[in-house]
Structure 1
Amino acid sequence: MARSDPDRDAVDDIVAQWHLQRPDLDVSPLEVFGRLHRSYIYYQSSLTALFDRHGINMAAFDVLAALRRSGPPYRMTAGQLAEMALVTTGGMTLRVDRLEKAGLVERERDPDDRRIVYSRLTEAGLRVLESTADDHFANEARMLAGLTATEQAGLAHLLRKLERSILAVEPAKAEEPHADSA
């Protein structure tokens, strides 16, 4: 379907097609979720390319960033990392294994309680994270350049409300660990 209105997008076309084929069906949620999904696909593609350039993936960035945000000495337990990243501790262990093999984190036992094992950011991990974070947040700012600061704040507010709305009707989802984090 050709678009003569420059403000129309693919979701407008899909909604119009549904209205033609099923005028009885309310497809208005597609105007939100369709655009959210399409935006996420473009966003994900941009992130993947950026992280690839730094030799890591999104899961690795999540772990490295969580360790960096924790402040010196940049260490956390697998349970703390899993909770922050919304993954299982088993999933986090696999991530940490990969990062340890790459020399970006190292494991260390708590000197007072040998049962506690921390994952700690190495100097190499810190360098990779700092470089990646600089590029990552500049990239995100670039992607948001078409929105004013007020629009960005409004969108952030609406997305927070959307997440709460979804969790209100899907309460079990709030407690289930996810296989991947975003």
Structure 2
Amino acid sequence: MFAFGAGSMTAALALPRVLDALPDRPVMFGGALLMVATLLGLGMTVLVAGLGWSILLAAWLLVGLGYSAVLTPSGRLLRRSAHAGDRPALFAAQFALSHACWLVTYPLSGWMLTVYGVIPALAGLALLAGIGMLIALKLWPANDPVEVEHTHDNLPLDHPHLQGHRRHSHALIIDESHPRWATHF
């Protein structure tokens, strides 16, 4: 827990400067990749040299770094994705979803470790994390703009949102005026 916490805090303290220089997406995917690579690397190390405290602590430190690099910027994404009044519900939903994932993966990791051993458990968890990363890559495209140019054919031209211009651009938040993520409404 100390090594994981040290890695997590190191990343959290460095992330404000990192996120000033880099967008959220590559930082978050870099953190996810670090976790997957660390699990696979730990499995390979255990296979070749066995499991030792120094290797395990180094792996936990790296997993903590990756974990924080994924989760810390997620608050920025959630904040950008909702109006102020909707944020408590959005953050609560994210909290519930993350804990539901823990509810599945903690027992799964213990079961895999007990039934199959260390190396298959690490490989299985790396595979699960890799699948999650691939899904995220598919759902969050690299060219996802903050501001989206779009039209509202469903709104009258004098609607306050349009301000006299049917085609306009702004940060897109799913709401009554923008019921889905798309380039045209």
Greater RCO, 1 or 2 (C-alpha within 8 Å, sep 6+): 2
Query: Is the pair's TM-score, using the shorter chain for normalization, greater than 0.5?
Result: no
TM-score, normalisation: structure 1: 0.27
TM-score, normalisation: structure 2: 0.26
